[in-house]
Amino acid sequence: MPDNFNPQTALHTAIIMDGNGRWALARGLPRAAGHRAGVEAAPAAGVGILTLFAFSSDNWRRPPAEVKALMRLAAWYLETQTPRCVAEGVRVEVIGRRDRLPPPLVAAIAASEAATARGTKLRQRVALDYSGRDAILAAASGTSELSRAGLDERLGPPVDLLIRTGGEHRLSDFLLWESAYAELVFSRAMWPDFGPEDLAAAIREFRGRERRYGAVPEAEVRCSAGWLD
C-alpha cells in the first residue's frame, strides 16, 4: 500500500456488478456485450477504495463460451486501462484465486499490479474467481492465532458502502467478513447503465445514514431511561 494512503479516511465502496447479461439480451446482443459495456462504465469518483465483483467462483458454472469471453474481457480491460490508471494514480489489485485463470489473464494481472503499484488517488480492487467464504477459510487457516484482528488484517479493509446493481437483493458470497457493518444500497439500474450520477446518489444516501455499529447514541439512552425516574 502506498505510504500516503490512509485507509481510516478513505471510503471503501464495493460494487456487485450485476445485470450485464440481461442488459445485453434486452438489446438483442450477446451476453458478453453487456459485460464489456459494464467495464467501460465503471465509476470511481470520490471513493478511496473501490472493490468490483467481476467474476465469482460460482460463475464457472456458466456456459463455457461466456466464461471464455469474460476471461478475455478481463485481460483486455487490464491491458488497455493500465496506462490510464498509471496516469491517474489508480492502484490496481486483484483478489481471488489465480490458479484457475487463463495464463494470459494471470500475466495481465501481474503486469497491471506492478505498473500501478505507486498509485495513491484510488485503490481499485477487482475480484476474480472470488468467494467470500473461501477467502475467510484461507485467512483462518493462514493465521497462527485466530482472532478478529488477525482475520481483518488478512482479508482487507472493511466495506463502508456496498452497492448491488441489476435489481437483485443478495450478497452472492461477496466480501462477507468485510461487509459486517456495510451500508447496503440496491439499485435497479443494470451495471452498464450505472453511471457516476448513480454512484453519487448512493454515496449521498450513505452519508445520510447513521452508523451505530451496535451502539446507541447517548441522547437516546437518556431519553429511553427517563421512565425509570
Tell me the per-residue pLDDT of 40-64, one tens digit each, with 9 for 90 and over: 533 344 678 889 999 999 999 999 9
- Report the candidate in 88, 107, 99, 105 with the shortest Cα–Cα distance to residue 50: 88
Strand stretches in the chain, DSSP E: 12-16, 49-56, 90-95, 122-130, 161-164, 183-186
Place of cell 480492487: 125
Place of cell 484465486: 97
Is there a contact between 199 and 48 (Cβ–Cβ < 8 Å)?
Answer: no
Evaluate if residue 5 carries a pLDDT over 60. no
Question: What is the set of domains in the chain, with CATH numbers?
Answer: 12-228 (3.40.1180.10)
Active-site amino acid positions: 18, 59
Helix segments in 118-174, DSSP class H: 132-141, 148-155
pLDDT digits (tens, 9 = 90+) for 13-29: 899 888 777 777 778 87
Q: Which is more confident, 96 or 22?
A: 96
Evaluate if residue 129 carries a pLDDT over 50. yes
Place of cell 456458466: 62
Angle of CA points 10, 132, 165, to nearest 5°: 65
Task: Provide the CA 95 distance to its chain's centre, in angstroms.
Answer: 10
